[in-house]
Amino acid sequence: MKKIISLLLSSLLVSIFFIATPANAVQETTILFQDNFDEEPSLAEGITTLTKWDIVDGNVDVIGEKGGQTIYDFYPGNGLFLDLSGYLSTSTLEAKDSFKLTPGFYKLSFKMGKNGDSENTYTVELGDLFKEQFPPTGLTTFEREIGVAQETDVQLRIINNGPNIGGGPVLLEVTLTKESGC
Ligand SMILES: [Ca+2]
Ligand SMILES: [Ca+2]
């Protein structure tokens, strides 16, 4: 009898374990948008079209490394990335995807560097939900948590504020995720 109770108890514990396990799923995230620019077809300077972005003002350089060729590979090992000051111009990028965000928590992360001694600041915007200006930095990954209280349509924009029109902020990666379980 004692053994049966023990077995029942252990199976009960197993049940509790499995019931408790889905809580781990809270940590999972859904990627809504991601770009590391490796899908761009080639190295290019002063261009106005990108695979996942509209360049609504100015132009950018697609630099780094592709297929063994390099141009201004400031951050080796990152494939292609962008100089947000293209050819004698700053730029404003807008993601081609727009996002309908339902209530919950989101995370915007982006990996930035800079071209040489560029002094350019840049601004990252997610509709009316988020807007922040960043200083020039060495290679840095920024993460911001954004709470959404009611369903909202937003555009993701990155603005190179200048003043340098030759070398600007270097954009290596952008990711927008929804944190589930909210
Ligand atoms: Ca890349
Ligand atoms: Ca440039």
Instruction: Tell me the C-alpha distance between 72 and 87, whole Å.
Output: 14
Whole-number Å distance, alpha carbon 74 to ligand 2 midpoint, is 12
Burial of 154 from C-beta contacts in 10 A (0-12 / 13-18 / 19+): buried
Is residue 113 a part of any domain in this protein?
A: yes
Whole-number Å distance, alpha carbon 86 to ligand 2 midpoint, is 4
Is residue 23 a part of any domain in this protein?
A: no
Is residue 33 a part of any domain in this protein?
A: yes
Whole-number Å distance, alpha carbon 182 to ligand 2 midpoint, is 41
Identify the nearest ligand to the CA of 72 by its number: 2
Is residue 121 a part of any domain in this protein?
A: yes
Whole-number Å distance, alpha carbon 62 to ligand 2 midpoint, is 9
Identify the nearest ligand to the CA of 73 by its number: 1
Is residue 38 a part of any domain in this protein?
A: yes
Whole-number Å distance, alpha carbon 1 to ligand 1 midpoint, is 64
Identify the nearest ligand to the CA of 81 by its number: 1
* CA torsion, ordered 111, 180, 30, 171, to nearest 10 deg: -10
Is residue 127 a part of any domain in this protein?
A: yes
Q: Quickly tell me which residue has 């209530």 as its tokens.
A: 103
Q: Are 42 and 71 in contact (CB under 8 A)?
A: no
Q: Structure tokens of 147?
A: 């709470």
CATH number at residue 123: 2.60.120.260
Model pLDDT, residue 18: 45
> pLDDT (tens digit, 0 to 9) for every residue of the chain, 182 residues total?
555 555 544 554 444 444 444 555 556 789 999 999 999 999 999 999 999 999 999 999 999 999 999 999 999 999 999 999 999 999 999 999 999 999 999 999 999 999 999 999 999 999 999 999 999 999 999 999 999 999 999 999 999 999 999 999 999 999 999 997 55
State which residues form the domain around 172.
Answer: 28-179
Is residue 162 a part of any domain in this protein?
A: yes
Whole-number Å distance, alpha carbon 154 to ligand 2 midpoint, is 29
Is residue 53 a part of any domain in this protein?
A: yes
Number of domains in the chain: 1
